[in-house]
């Protein structure tokens, strides 16, 4: 019975890994972002495992800077790595003291889902379907797959071009979006989106801090006028998702 249980756990882990790794996910940090993440600078404080029957790897990190997204993320958080049953990133090669630039793809866990003690702090996934963290040296140098052909960059240079990085989303050049028109941009009172394609399009509007403002669903051959007259001037992001593909459109409100 114990051997059968081990086989079932192993097989379910393989299926889960393949479900994530075999899909066509972006292979650089900038291409993985969609504008909804919280981007932080952090340092690894501790590395351990939680769980009783199935160990879950965890790192606790201290946040020194918040560059984009939610300001409410606490100063110290726990990040869950790849455990064989999820699509998170492997943390095997991370050590205490390592500096990181992390994009938190999702909000914190609302409750713990495993037997045994939970991680020590508010807990987030270190997502792995794409590239959601880069190493940061004590000298302020980023390393890892930043953009195609770029694996080393001073942190300040990266931050100076953060808008460009967000616009580089790996989903922006999909042919499926050629039949979706977004105008006027810049806008004042409204922005119109018309779907002349064959698939329904889910629209989500976010402000520059990654907060969700509104959602709409466009059937093929229909349009939507999204009011913006009540919004402060600034940069917004309009997520467009169709047929399991998505892109982020930068919207400027005057």
Residue where a domain terminates, one of 135, 151, 167: 167
The 10 Å Cβ neighbour count of residue 8 is 10
Clarify whether residues 192 and 246 are in a common domain: yes
Decide which of 33 and 57 is more confident.
57
Q: Are residues 163 and 205 in the same domain?
A: no
pLDDT(248) > 80: no
- C-alpha dist (Å) from residue 129 to 2, 18, 90, 93: 32, 11, 11, 17
Indicate if 112 and 179 belong to the same structural domain. no
CATH of the domain at 67: 2.40.50
Whether residue 10 lies inside any domain: the answer is no
- The reply to whether 108 and 130 lie within a common domain is yes
| Residue at which a domain ends, from 167, 197, 223 | 167
Percentage of the chain beyond pLDDT 70 is 85
154 and 135 share a domain?
A: yes
Dist CA 187 CA 133 (whole Å): 34
C-alpha 85/C-alpha 99 separation (Å) is 26
Q: 160 or 17: whose pLDDT is higher?
A: 160
**Span 131-152, mean pLDDT?**
94
- pLDDT given at position 168: 55
Q: Are residues 143 and 180 in the same domain?
A: no
Q: Does 227 have pLDDT greater than 90?
A: yes
Are 216 and 137 members of one domain? no
Query: Mean pLDDT highest for which of 1-5, 19-23, 246-250?
Result: 246-250
Which uninterrupted H or E stretch holds 214? strand 212-218
Q: Does 235 or 20 have the greater pLDDT score?
A: 235
pLDDT in tens, 189-226: 999 999 988 889 889 898 866 678 999 999 999 999 99
Cα 247 to chain centroid distance, Å, stands at 13
Task: Please provide the average confidence, as pLDDT, over all residues in the chain.
Answer: 82
Same domain, 54 and 123: yes
Inter-CA distances, 53 with 5, 48, 81, 86, 175, Å = 11, 15, 17, 16, 46
- In terms of residue numbers, what domain contains 185? 175-253
Least confident of 22-36, 85-99, 108-122, 169-183: 169-183
Q: Are residues 160 and 206 in the same domain?
A: no
Number of domains the chain is built from: 2
**14 occurs within a structural domain:** no
Predicted confidence (pLDDT) per residue in 80-124, tens digit: 998 877 778 999 999 999 999 999 988 888 888 777 889 999 999
pLDDT band at 235 (very low <50, low <70, confident <90, very high): confident
């Amino acid at each position: 019975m114990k051997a059968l249980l081990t086989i079932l756990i192993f097989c379910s882990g393989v299926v889960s890994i393949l479900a994530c790794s075999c899909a066509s996910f972006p292979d650089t940090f900038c291409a993985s972002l969609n504008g909804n993440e919280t981007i932080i600078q952090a340092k690894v404080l501790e590395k351990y495992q939680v769980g009783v029957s199935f160990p879950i790897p965890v790192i606790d990190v201290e946040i020194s800077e918040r560059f984009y997204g939610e300001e409410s993320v606490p100063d110290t958080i726990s990040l869950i790595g790849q455990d064989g049953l999820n699509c998170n990133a492997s943390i095997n090669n991370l050590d205490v003291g390592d500096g990181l630039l992390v994009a938190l793809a999702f909000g914190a866990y609302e409750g713990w889902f495993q037997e045994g003690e939970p991680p020590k702090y508010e807990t987030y996934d270190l997502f792995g379907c794409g590239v959601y963290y880069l190493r940061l040296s004590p000298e302020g140098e980023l390393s890892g797959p930043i953009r195609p052909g770029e694996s080393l960059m001073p942190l300040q240079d990266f931050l100076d071009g953060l808008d460009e990085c967000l616009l580089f989303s790996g989903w922006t050049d999909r042919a499926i979006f050629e039949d979706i028109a977004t105008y006027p941009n810049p806008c004042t009172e409204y922005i119109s989106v018309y779907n002349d394609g064959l698939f329904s399009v889910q629209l989500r509007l976010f402000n520059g801090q990654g907060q969700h403002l509104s959602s709409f669903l466009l059937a093929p051959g229909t349009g939507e006028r999204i009011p913006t007259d009540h919004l402060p001037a600034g940069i917004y992001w309009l997520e467009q998702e169709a047929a399991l593909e998505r892109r982020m459109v930068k919207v400027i409100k005057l």
